[in-house]
Structure 1
């Protein structure tokens, strides 16, 4: 089948977009991605995972203004026009849209093209927008395009109209059932790693010294819980527990976290901020690490999704310390792959770290996590569900169309 996939940012790169495109292509399907074009990249480009069709830059506008005009607002006509253009050109058989911002445009285009539409809901978008407002970080434009009430209203109207919805955890599926989506139109396709990205050998636990090294990989934003980690590390230092933290990533609150480290007198001998690193370079740091951190706040946005980093840590044989956000807590406890602490509680974080000081405990947790990755939590399993969901949706849609419009003898 010919798939019109939609991603609301520049491409490359996004790990989930690449995995989805590659898997659908390997299953024999033709994948065309419509993406944003703030970087003024080529309008069309063939990549190993599929064909990319970017928005055309408007050269008559200043570059910054052109970028604003590409904003993936729900009803941006610029996106709708490009979707229709590419959809007709490739004779699309299904539309696959990532997350809520462009779901209304995708739905409108799919109905006009006469094909089914599938939403890949990697994030609980309304909850994520509420987090922005609760943190007081909204800008003037957010009152229009990231208004929590408007976003929730769009979701409630859009979700029931989708032919199928893909979610990353069961908790997300349970949430959208309450919004009117039938369970038979929901498939869990998680954020698990490609088998090619699972290292052949786990980290060598024997590298360990008397200093416990921890790593955080991801966005540096307040709901990610970095302040809790830094405050907890200060407590551990004061107790005489030797720890070190590698913090990899960037984000809007990076300055705040540097200030928190300074306030706690955590120098470069205890905390290292790497900034943004290429994905493979970030993963390479795992080999000199003892524990992976998932300190996200247990708010709704984090409690209805699952971070890639959880599975990345486990695939390297690293024990995990996570907050009590339900999906991560459930997985870590079921597998026995680490420790759980109360969200936003530095004291409980310090307790969780101390529970993994013993090398034999870390080794047991790391081995359990890696076994779970190779057996269950890997992209081969999720890719099978993804492909089956799309193929079934297209078959069902074609069957419904043929019953509605029977062929004349």
Structure 2
């Protein structure tokens, strides 16, 4: 039974479990934590479809269930069935959900005190933009990455083309209209402020994090398993990680890649070319509840972002999860991920180079005492600063602030 005195928030997110992505788990954990903070939480999401090609297509207009105190409405949208969908299929997936969410809100928004739209993709903001422009409804835009910049940098959108210009004009309106813009890192907030002229008083730093009570270690560590969990996509330098195995002194180390995504087939071919079929394991998608056991049976966690300026703001959720399990993190990339490693003293940061990665892997695998020290440092760091309960409490305070104002 709902609490008649509870404030009500509706959250629109393109990904929600059983979608397998860091954003899906983060939004789910945040919503259940908000419910624990006393909010009555409703989620709008499309049928599960990510990673693409892993779910059966649904034609139901709407399905509803309740989990962890959160009401979840699945609103019909296009669901790509190919592992690497074409442009039209992707755009249908991105656009039809926010249109359906807008129609749902059109009839229901008055019963809610606030709306949160989660990005990426940027189009979820379409669901709430009309209410932000034409009413006083409190609206928070939750920004997890520079989606347009990444799309341009990775070649999905032509730089300077019509699609980029239209997308940036739309995002500028969304970010300037919202009451608050939450961001995961300082660099991300600075980039949004610079690109779109947002009032910096609207920007709130709410980092990614981890359920530290759920992600906690036992004594099940492997002596030689390097693990990667998450999206097997274009922003991750998994190619360098695979090639690093060929460069390692250790011939017993194995790389376990847990997840799926657009470049899985390319990585399969690379593994065969390198003759590493017996040392690289692809698990594919696994249920979320199996991830803790997988991390608990690894020696090192790898967070291999590509070294690209458009990714300097990014800290993958997996890095926090590794640290929660006292796994030393080997990270690549530039920017905020390096800051996390330095501040936490929970791992090592190396160049995007197979030889450098091989040296880092060999050094850590040969020194269990150092692995243990780095792991303890990382665990202490995330428990203190990045527990999702702490972060949800901060979001609840931001919601209180915008609703009252």
Q: Tell me if structure 2 keeps the 8 A contact 1:72–1:79.
A: no
Separation (CA, whole Å) in 2 of partners of 1:203 and 1:151: 49
Q: Tell me if structure 2 keeps the 8 A contact 1:329–1:340.
A: yes
1:46 corresponds to which of 62, 66, 74: 66
Separation (CA, whole Å) in 1 of partners of 2:240 and 2:17: 33
Q: Tell me if structure 2 keeps the 8 A contact 1:43–1:53.
A: yes
TM-score normalised by L of structure 2: 0.84
CA shift in 2, pair 1:215/1:135, >3 Å: farther
2:400 corresponds to which of 361, 366, 391: 391
Report the Cα offset of residue 189 of structure 1: 1.6
Separation (CA, whole Å) in 1 of partners of 2:173 and 2:350: 37
Separation (CA, whole Å) in 2 of partners of 1:259 and 1:85: 50
Determine the structure 2 residue equivalent to 1:127: 149
Determine the structure 2 residue equivalent to 1:352: 360
Aligned pairs for 1:246-325 within 5 A: 246-268=256-278, 270-325=279-334
CA shift in 2, pair 1:45/1:18, >3 Å: same
Partner SS state of residue 247, structure 2: helix
Aligned pairs for 1:226-237 within 5 A: 226-236=238-248
Separation (CA, whole Å) in 2 of partners of 1:68 and 1:341: 34
Q: Structure 1: any 5+ residue segments left out of the alignment?
A: 59-66, 137-142, 397-409
Partner SS state of residue 28, structure 1: coil
Alignment partner of 1:158 is 2:174: yes
Q: Tell me if structure 2 keeps the 8 A contact 1:121–1:166.
A: yes
Separation (CA, whole Å) in 1 of partners of 2:345 and 2:325: 15
Separation (CA, whole Å) in 1 of partners of 2:77 and 2:345: 50
Separation (CA, whole Å) in 1 of partners of 2:201 and 2:371: 40
Q: Tell me if structure 2 keeps the 8 A contact 1:246–1:274.
A: yes
Determine the structure 1 residue equivalent to 2:234: 222
Determine the structure 2 residue equivalent to 1:167: 183
Larger radius of gyration: 1
Q: Structure 2: any 5+ residue segments left out of the alignment?
A: 1-6, 48-56, 79-88
Determine the structure 1 residue equivalent to 2:11: 5
Determine the structure 1 residue equivalent to 2:210: 193
Paired residues, what number?
A: 371
Separation (CA, whole Å) in 2 of partners of 1:392 and 1:233: 51
Report the Cα offset of residue 83 of structure 1: 1.9
Aligned pairs for 1:333-344 within 5 A: 333-343=342-352
CA shift in 2, pair 1:70/1:92, >3 Å: farther
Determine the structure 1 residue equivalent to 2:54: none
Deviations 1:196-249 (A, max 9, x none): 3132x44455x52xxx3200111112321110101111111xx45542111111
Partner SS state of residue 97, structure 1: strand
Q: Tell me if structure 1 keeps the 8 A contact 2:132–2:178.
A: no
Separation (CA, whole Å) in 2 of partners of 1:55 and 1:280: 25
Report the Cα offset of residue 176 of structure 1: 1.4
Separation (CA, whole Å) in 1 of partners of 2:103 and 2:205: 31
Deviations 1:73-103 (A, max 9, x none): 2996443212212314xx1111100112121
Deviations 1:358-394 (A, max 9, x none): 1111111111111112222211221121111111111
Report the Cα offset of residue 301 of structure 1: 4.4
Q: Tell me if structure 1 keeps the 8 A contact 2:146–2:310.
A: yes
Deviations 1:302-326 (A, max 9, x none): 3223211101100111000001321
What's the C-alpha RMSD, in Å, of the aligned pairs? 2.7
Partner SS state of residue 223, structure 1: coil
Alignment partner of 1:87 is 2:105: no
Q: Tell me if structure 2 keeps the 8 A contact 1:336–1:369.
A: yes
